[in-house]
Amino acid sequence: MSRKKHLHQIRRSLYRAALQLKTPPKRGPEETLAQLFREVQVKQLYSDGKTFADMTPKRRLRQIKREYRLASQDPDFHLADFVKRHFYDFTDTESTHQTLPVANSARQHVTNLWPRLIRSAPKNKGSLIALPYDYVVPGGRFEEQFYWDSYFVMLGLAADKQWELIEGMMKNYTYMIRKFGYIPTANRSYFLSRSQPPFFAHMVKLLAKGRHSRLTYLEFLPALLAEYRFWMKGRRKVSSVTYPAYARVVAMPGSEILNRYYDNKTTPRPESQREDLETAAKSANFDKAKIFLDLRAGAESGWDFSSRWFRDSHNIETIHTTDIVPIDLNCLLYDLEKTIAHCYSIIQQSALRKKFDRLAQKRAEAIRRYCWNESERFFYDYDFRTGQQTGRATLAAIFTLYSGIASKQQATDVVKKIESDFLAGGGLVSTLIDNGQQWDAPNGWAPLQWVAIQGLKHYGYDDLADTIRRRWMDSVETVFVERHKMIEKYDVTSESRVGGGGEYPLQDGFGWTNGVYAALHDDLKI
C-alpha cells in the first residue's frame, strides 16, 4: 500500500469516527429558508423543484434570509440573480458528466457506469446529509443514496463483485438507523419524514451470501429490529373499532395488524412543492393537509405516482394513499419478520425465533384474507376506510410470490393474469391503467421485473420468468443501442421502449436499471 493511500485511509477512519458524534440536520430547506424557499418553488425558478432543494448555501442561512428580507423589498429585486449569488448548484458536476469508456455491450456499459455513479458525502452540504462511506446514486437528478433503489443497485454491484462498496452502503444505513431510528427515503434533510419500501432485510441476505457468513445476520440484527420498530410504531394504540390507524400501522377488522405507507408531515413535499400545491388547489377535498399527507405517503411507497393510490384512476387529486393497506409493503414486512426470526435461530434463541415466525405467519394469513379476491383470482390492495379492496390490478400482487405468501393455487391464478394482462413485448407493465403517471401503463420498471422473475421462479414458473427476463433485457438493450444509455423506466409496449410520464423528465443513469440488468444478464443467484 502506498503512503498516500495509507494516509487517506487514516483520514477517512478519523472522519468516520468524528461523524458518529455529529448531529445531522433535522430540518429541511423548506423550514430553514422559509419564504425564500416558497417563492423560488412557487415561481418555478427551476423547472425541477428538486434543483433548489438540493442547492448548497454559500453563506450562513441566517445571513441569507436577512439579506433576502431586505433585497426583496426593492422594486428591482431579481430572484434568480439573488439565488445565483447565494447558492451553489452542483447539478452540473464533473462526476456526472465524465466521459465513459466506449462499451461494446450494455453489460460492459453497466460496469463502466459504477465509478460515475459513486459519491461521497464527508460533510453536510445544504440538504445533503453526510454519510461515513461511499455510495452509489441512481443518477440524473438523484444524487443521494436512495433506500429501495439501493437494493437493486446492489444486485448489479454483486454481479460485478463490488462487495466492499455494498458493505459500505449497508453501513451507511446502519448509521442512519442509529441517528434517525429508521432509514429515510435518502440522505436529504427534506426526506427525513418518510422512508421507502423496506428492502433492508433483502440487503442483509444479499451481503450474507456474498460474504458466505451467517455472522452477517447477527451484525445487522440490531438494525433489523430498529427498522421493524419504526414500521410497527403505534401497534398497541390502534383498534379496529375505535382507532383503526396510527402512523404506519392499521388495525384490520379481525384485529390483525397490517401496515400502510405514511409520512410524518402534512405539508407539500419540498422537492415538489409547486406540483403539490396545484394538486391540492384542484382537489374537491377541503382537507388540504390530508392531500399533502397522501402525496407524501405515495412518495414513500416508491410508486410516485400511480392509479393504485387514486379513487379516480385518472385523477391524482383523488389520491388517498394513507387509506390503503398495500400488498407489497406487507409482503416486505413479512420478509423482515422472517429474517429477524432467522437471526434468532442462528443464536439459538428459540422463544424469540418463534415469536417472529408467529408474527410473520399472522401477517401472511391477513394478507391472504384481506387482499385475495376469490372471484377475480388475484391480490388487490385493501382500503381499510371502506372495508373493501381497491379493485385496481397492479404488479404489486406479484410480491405475494416473491415473499412466498401465496398458496400454490393462488400463485397459479396470479400467474395466469400476469401472463394475460401484464405481459407486453418489452416486459411487464406496472398497472393496467394508462393515465400519464409514471408508475402506470405503459411503463415497466426494473425493480418490478426482478421481483416478478424471482417470484415466478420461487413457484416453479421458470418459462414465464425466462420470457419476462428476455423481453426486459431486450428493452434495455434496444434503448442502449439507440442512445448508449441506461434509463430510469421503459415503455414496454412501444417499439422505442423509451418510458415517460410523471413529474419530471426521463432520467439517465440509472442505478436500478443497471443493477437488475447486470444481475439478470449474469443470472445472479440469491
Per-position DSSP letters for 399-467, written without gaps between them: HHHHTT-S-HHHHHHHHHHIIIIIEETTEE-SBS--SS-TTSTTEE-HHHHHHHHHHHHHTT-HHHHHH
Closest CA to 442 of 397, 481, 475: 475
Residue 125 bridge partners (DSSP): 128
> What type of residue sits at position 440?
D
Helices 79-86 + 35-42 axis angle, to 10: 120
User: For residues 342 and 336, what is the distance between their CA atoms, to the nearest angstrom?
Assistant: 10
| Phi/psi-derived region of residue 254, left when phi > 0, alpha when psi is between -120 and 50, beta in every other case | alpha
Q: Which of 54, 227, 304, 491 is catalytic?
A: 304
Q: Which of 300, 488, 491, 508 is catalytic?
A: 488
287 is catalytic: no
Residue 389 bridge partners (DSSP): 382
Q: Are strands 135-136 and 118-119 parallel, antiparallel or unpaired?
A: antiparallel
User: For residues 184 and 176, what is the distance between their CA atoms, to the nearest angstrom?
Assistant: 8
Q: How far is CA 452 from the centre of its chain?
A: 17
Radius of gyration of the chain (CA): 23
User: For residues 469 and 471, what is the distance between their CA atoms, to the nearest angstrom?
Assistant: 6
Residue 524's CB is within 10 A of a number of other CB atoms, namely 17
Record the cell numbers describing residue 69, joined without a space: 428580507
User: For residues 49 and 46, what is the distance between their CA atoms, to the nearest angstrom?
Assistant: 6
Give the three-class secondary structure for 57. strand
503 is catalytic: no
Helices (H) and strands (E) in the chain, counts: 21, 16
Whether the Cβ atoms of residue 61 and residue 131 lie closer than 8 Å to each other:
no
Q: What is the 3-state secondary structure (H, E, C) of 331-345?
A: HHHHHHHHHHHHHHH
Whether the Cβ atoms of residue 316 and residue 299 lie closer than 8 Å to each other:
no
Residue 21's CB is within 10 A of a number of other CB atoms, namely 6
Catalytic machinery residues: 304, 488
